[in-house]
Chains A and B, each alone.
Chain A
Amino acid sequence: MSRKHRYGFYIPLLAGAVFYLLPVYVMLVTGFKGFEEVSLKTMWDLPTTLHVDNFVEAFNKLSPYLMNSLNMVLPTAVIAAVLGSLNGYVLAKWKFKGADIIFPLILFGIFIPYQSVLIPLVELMRSINLYGGLPGLMLAHVIYGIPITTLTFRNYYATIPKDILEAAKMDGAGILGIYWYIMRPLSVTTFVVVLIWQFTQAWNDFLFAVVLTNPANWPITVALNNIAGSQVIAWNLQMAGSLLAALPTLIIYIFLGQYFVRGMMAGALK
């Protein structure tokens, strides 16, 4: 394709950027406004003075819980991704008897409505002594993340030609060997997508966090939600806090984004 032709793609890309950033603009200007300045009529207006103190106050309220979130989210994302990739690999390429039943059964698990399992979940966590702390929350996120990570990996691995595996098998590689030396390196971008998903889900989750952890272990979303009271809600503070709470996720996106490089796979497949 000609270069000139390709520049045309900037038009939809920029239009997309406007669509995604418009609400972020509203959050940003609101985050800098004073409490009495926040109103529906003036939502597009710039703040009259920059209330940086909103961000300072939000940061002070959120920061004690930051480590809880990080400690919980990083292992959760990695463990769920690793389990999902193993499951996906086996269910795509080593279809033992019953594998075709196991996959839909795992997959169906994502449709379970979380609100309706809160009570048995809390009870079970208490009975295995994982209630109140971060490990219990991590366990819940890993388990309910497995269906999606498995699905994503399985569908990716299914597209990898079996000749590659058979050649490796001839060379004497076992199940784990093939996974480690062939499948794992091939699925870097899939790992990125799955990690983005898991990180975001666990980071932004509120429901499990609020019922499974005690105040000392609350992740940042519970603190963010608590910035709002039940009666008068300071939207300026909420917006500021929400933008701050999103920063680690954004950093992860940017960090992982560099692995979206074209040609990596193509080279490996040759």
Chain B
Amino acid sequence: MRINRKEAWQSFLLVAPSVALIAVFVYGFIGWTARVSLSEWKGLLPDYTWAGFSNFAELLADPRFMIDVRNTVLFTVFFVGGSLALGLGLAICLDQGLRGEGIFRAIYLFPMALSFIVTGVVWRWLMNPAMGSRLSGLNLLFHNLGLDFLINEWHTTPFWGIIAIALPAVWQMSGFCVAMYLAGLRAIPDELIESARVDGASEFQVYSTIVLPILRPVTFSSMIILGHMSLKVFDLIMAVGGKQIPLDVPAMYMWQVTFEGLFYGKGAAIGLLLLLSVAVLIIPYIIYTLRGETEL
């Protein structure tokens, strides 16, 4: 839409408060973090002695940080992918206008209402990896249902353990994806779908060629929301898996070096690397999405 000078000013004024707050609380703080990451600050008191990029160099040579990067990638893929798939599937089912929709919606959202501190513990119990006579949690349930082939070591599985941690995260957040997709589905005019059906499109075609493309912005929003959670995931892993290296993630490492070890410079460097990697991955995607948007 073409806008004139006055409208441009008015619209800018509407976003100005948010922009000002974000400028200080996000970019100001990023600047502070960047400064700390280039300092030697270690210990309780601030020490801004210039350290150059030594904190970063140390991290890039750090085997623990390498494990963190790998874990973050695996976790993000399974958490975001799982939540989106489950969210879309259940939203489509809910959108059929069946009786009891409200109850299902509330049930699906309920995990989000529960605090991570406690649900993490429940999942630790559920995913208990003990075998033999000490079988418990989901493994015990599988055993009693005769599904012994499903019994596994969950998050203590070597190498792939981090994927098991994605399960509680999917449990917690997929309900929100259901809500997002449901809102998106409900915004699609009925006539659009009806006319496609009249034209003889199969249900599958209706969804794949009409509904999904319309839902693309919803998927995009959900991916960003879930993605930012997965990069910061920390209390969930701490509660389910405890602080152990095979399940380590950058946010946990950052927490430990900053608040337990008081290596503020190093902690800030981890935070900044996290942000930079996000920037490299996300900003091109955002720009691509914005460009691809045709104005309706």
Direct contact of A and B (CB under 8 A): yes
Whole-angstrom distance between the alpha carbons of A176 and B11 in the complex?
9
- Tell me if B83 counts as interface (CB < 8 A to partner A): no
Q: Of all chain B residues, which has the CB nearest A196?
A: B179
Residues of B within 8 A of A44 (CB): 140-141
User: Could you say which of B53-61, B62-70, B149-157, B282-290 contacts chain A?
Assistant: B282-290
Chain B contact residues, majority secondary structure:
helix
Residues of A near B25 (CB, < 8 A) are 117, 121, 124, 140, 143-144
- Contacts A13-B90, A111-B282, A166-B1: A158 and B32 contacting too (C-beta < 8 A)? no
A97 in contact with B8 (CB, 8 Å): yes
Known A-B contacts A26-B125, A95-B3, A174-B10; A147 and B22 likewise in contact (beta carbons under 8 Å) = yes
Chain B residues with CB under 8 Å of A206's CB are: 115-117, 235
Q: How far is the CA of A98 from the CA of B15 in the complex (A)?
A: 12
Contact (Cβ within 8 A) A175 B114: no
Q: Does A48 contact B (CB under 8 A)?
A: no
Interface string of B187-227 (1 = CB under 8 A from A): 10111000000000001000000000010011011001100
Chain A interface helix/strand/loop/mixed: helix
A41 touches B134 (CB 8 A): yes
Q: How far is the CA of A13 from the CA of B95 in the complex (A)?
A: 11
| Contact code string A186-208 (vs B, CB < 8 Å = 1, else 0) | 00011011001100100110100
State whether the Cβ of B159 lies closer than 8 Å to any Cβ in chain A: no
A250 contacts the other chain (CB 8 A) = yes
Q: Is the pair A204, B286 in contact by a Cβ cutoff of 8 Å?
A: no
Contact with A along B254-272 (1 / 0, CB 8 A): 1100110000000110111
Partner of A112, one of B30, B101, B176, B267: B30
Contacts A12-B90, A16-B108, A162-B295: A146 and B123 contacting too (C-beta < 8 A)? no
Residue B50 is within 8 A (CB to CB) of chain A in the complex: no
Q: Which residues of A contact B112 (CB under 8 A)?
A: 196, 200, 249
Is A151 a contact partner of B115 (Cβ separation < 8 A)? no
Query: How far does the alpha carbon of A151 sit from the alpha carbon of B176 in the complex, in Å?
Result: 15
Contact of A263 among B19, B190, B296 (CB under 8 A): B190
Interface residues of A (CB under 8 A from B): 1, 6-7, 9-10, 12-13, 16-17, 19-24, 26-27, 30, 40-41, 43-44, 83, 86-87, 89-91, 93-100, 102-117, 120-121, 124, 140, 142-144, 146-148, 150-152, 155-156, 158-162, 165-166, 169, 174-176, 189-190, 192-193, 196-197, 200, 203-204, 206, 221, 224-225, 228, 235, 238-239, 241-243, 245-246, 249-250, 253-254, 257-258, 260-266, 269
8 closest Cβ contacts across the A-B interface?
A116-B271, A249-B113, A155-B217, A94-B11, A96-B8, A242-B118, A109-B26, A189-B183
Chain B residues at the A interface, C-beta cutoff of 8 Å: 1, 3, 7-12, 14-15, 17-19, 21-22, 24-30, 32-33, 86, 89-90, 93-98, 101-102, 104-119, 121-123, 125-126, 128, 130, 134, 136-137, 140-141, 168, 171, 175-176, 179-180, 182-184, 186-187, 189-191, 203, 214, 217-218, 220-221, 224-225, 228, 231-232, 234-235, 251, 254-255, 258-259, 267-268, 270-272, 274-275, 278-279, 282-283, 286-287, 290, 293, 295-296
